[in-house]
Structure 1
């Protein structure tokens, strides 16, 4: 390959950029965060942590899978101290790749419920969201009450859901595998596919918009997407929220499927003590309130309330399955979707 002057300059620039970020990582009073959370409201988390501790926060944001690959490529030279991502399935991938380190912290163990943290302290949930059923109240008189109901033939042609490769759908099926076994999970995936109103497409907001537009009458989505439409102006959805009902599934069974935003210590963290201090800070009352009010999530710490719009969805029993099971069953979940032809 011919090496041109522009290629050389680009390479030198990338090396310089990495050095500028990596070199200060050894200094006292800093913590380097790799985060796949992309919410503007998280800015307050970082600035308040600095105000409280004097520790400066450097961060790189990006797609979770891209950040995982970056951590792998950087290896022992990685400047990352903390890894933050959404969905237990993603953080499990990072852990399986050897990119995370266990943390022994009484603060984290006491504040974070057992189901929402790795059994050996490799990661901790800092906020939750429930994956629930939404339906058109004008046309659905008997909405599904369980995840199993979504596979009932009486709802044929009515359901909208995301693609099989979406991490939320993988985690939901992984939980079905953990609770009911592979055969039952496969039957459920087949029934869900048979009941789809359209090919899987779009994000959670798109599923809700499809209910609002009448393209389908039932949809799966995370709670905070719907609350955004209640509290803000989401095109094609906010005007229809009054006619969309919410069902927290499996209230007489395993409880509603929940997932997390999770935090972990990077395996080669150069600022380990600062990193753990930041992780503990995320479970403080002030930080938990930011999660609750900034992105309409549920706090993980007992005694901290969700915001009024989230509370308005109603109380519910959450599934207490340890979320590490979602990662363990993730690969099999994708295989099952593929086997039944769920795209």
Structure 2
């Protein structure tokens, strides 16, 4: 199975623990009356972010949403282990790769075209098994004090040039970064991806645990550029003002560095509440919910006609690489490659 990055006894531990925890977590959730519809959602998106939108859905439709929160990779592995025994009706994933893993195992229900057609084809399953809710663009964040856009290369691949030695920041343990590397493997192959990783390592990049400290490090002058998701910068500008000395550089020309990953949802084939589950997906892709995500996170709303935050370039202008996002499921071999070259 391609998706699972756990190995040996560690993978077995998570599989067994996941099933036990899922049974306990759902049993401890508030009970519902027989007259009230309810849904069980496994959410890789944080409670702080999505609980308000679940509450709005419940208020609107009278359907109680029972949520198990956790890391996307662990929840996906649990769903694979639970199979048809799973209490989950809906999986809300932080990234497309996890949805692709479930799709490849045949445990997701096909979604109707009237829902799927709300988003561009590049942001949904080609097999109609999941749909993107919001988009997260990969960018090169850079110091606006020390650089201009004209100083930056046209491709992410060109950051192996020795002139960038000691000037790059990246987050090797971050899930979004690892999904980006998986996308590079899909687009360019393992050999070219390994060569790029070794080229960046030769430039002595500084490693950070996640995206936020990379933006901070650029502002402080520790590094000049960083490989991150687009929305972290806008959070800084909202807090510190428009003069915060960092900007985003969006690569063009279908460059692999212009990958847009999605947070998305799918319905489990084993769900006994598919009608209610469809109502939830309908709500998540409604104008109301899309505007909420755009305002709360600076992520891209994916439903056609809903505008992103005015600070962002239109998603239609981002020339993404020709990648089936479901193929981002092969995290295991990405982790092997990152360990092989010494990034992890």
TM-score (norm 2): 0.83
Q: Is the 8 A contact 1:162 1:201 kept in 2?
A: yes
Q: Following TM superposition, by how much is the alpha carbon of 1:31 offset from its aligned partner in structure 2, in angstroms?
A: 1.4
Specify the SS of the correspondent of 2:312: helix
Aligned CA-pair RMSD: 3.0
Question: What's the offset of the Cα at 1:26?
Answer: 7.6
| Cα deviation code 1:34-65 (max 9, x no counterpart) | 11111534333212222332222221212223
CA distances 1:246-292 after superposition (whole Å, capped 9, x unpaired): 21013465671111111111232121111122112211111111111
1:230 CA drift (Å): 1.4
Residue 161 to residue 231, structure 1, CA distance change in 2 (3 Å): same
Alpha-carbon separation, structure 1, partners of 2:225 and 2:181: 18
1:131 to 135, 138, 144: 138
CA contact (8 A) 1:161 1:196 kept: no
More divergent stretch after superposition (141-150 vs 200-209):
141-150
- 2:179 is aligned to 171
Superposition map of 1:122-271 within 5 A? 122-140=129-147, 142-163=151-172, 165-198=173-206, 200-232=207-239, 238=240, 242-251=244-253, 253=255, 256-271=258-273
Which residue is 1:9 aligned to?
none
| Contact 1:22/1:79, CA 8 A, preserved across alignment | no
Q: 1:273 aligns with which of 272, 275, 278?
A: 275
Cα pair 2:258 2:319 within 8 Å, conserved: yes
Deviation at 1:148, TM superposition (A): 0.9
Distance 1:39 1:155, change over 3 A: farther
Q: Are the structure 2 counterparts of residues 271 and 255 from structure 1 closer, same or farther at C-alpha, using a change threshold of 3 Å?
A: same
SS of corresponding position for 2:141: strand
Once residues 220 and 16 of structure 1 are traced to their aligned partners in structure 2, the CA distance between those partners, rounded to angstroms, is 39
Whole-angstrom distance in 1 between the partners of 2:244 and 2:336:
38
Residue 82 of structure 1 is matched in structure 2 by: 90
Larger-gyration structure (1/2): 1
CA distance in 2, matches of 1:32, 1:147: 40
Alpha-carbon deviation of 1:90? 2.7
In the alignment, the residues of structure 2 paired with residue 16 and residue 332 of structure 1 have an alpha-carbon distance, to the nearest angstrom, of 32
* Residue 241 of structure 1, CA deviation: 5.5
* Structure 1, 24-33 or 127-136: larger mean CA deviation: 24-33
Question: Is 1:307 aligned to 2:309, yes or no?
Answer: yes
1:60 maps onto 2:68 in alignment? yes
Residues 192 and 315 of structure 1: is their aligned pair in 2 closer, same or farther, counting only changes over 3 Å?
same
2:10 aligned partner: none
Is the contact made by 1:21 and 1:79 (CA closer than 8 Å) also made in structure 2? no
Change in 2 beyond 3 A, CA 1:39/1:215? farther
Deviations 1:302-327 (A, max 9, x none): 11001223349995333342211222
Residue 46 in 1 paired to residue 54 in 2? Answer: yes
Work out the CA distance in 2 between the residues paired with 1:60 and 1:16. 10
- Structure 1 window deviating more from structure 2 (171-180 vs 282-291): it is 171-180
CA 1:125–1:75 in structure 2 vs 1: closer, same or farther (change >3 Å)? Answer: same
Distance 1:25 1:149, change over 3 A: farther
Structure 1: gaps spanning 5 or more residues: 1-13, 233-237
Partners of 1:68 and 1:252 lie apart in 2 by: 29
**How far 1:185 sits from its partner (Å)?**
1.6
Q: Could you tell me how far 1:180 is from its partner in structure 2?
A: 2.1
Q: How many residue pairs were aligned?
A: 323
TM-score, normalising length: structure 1:
0.83
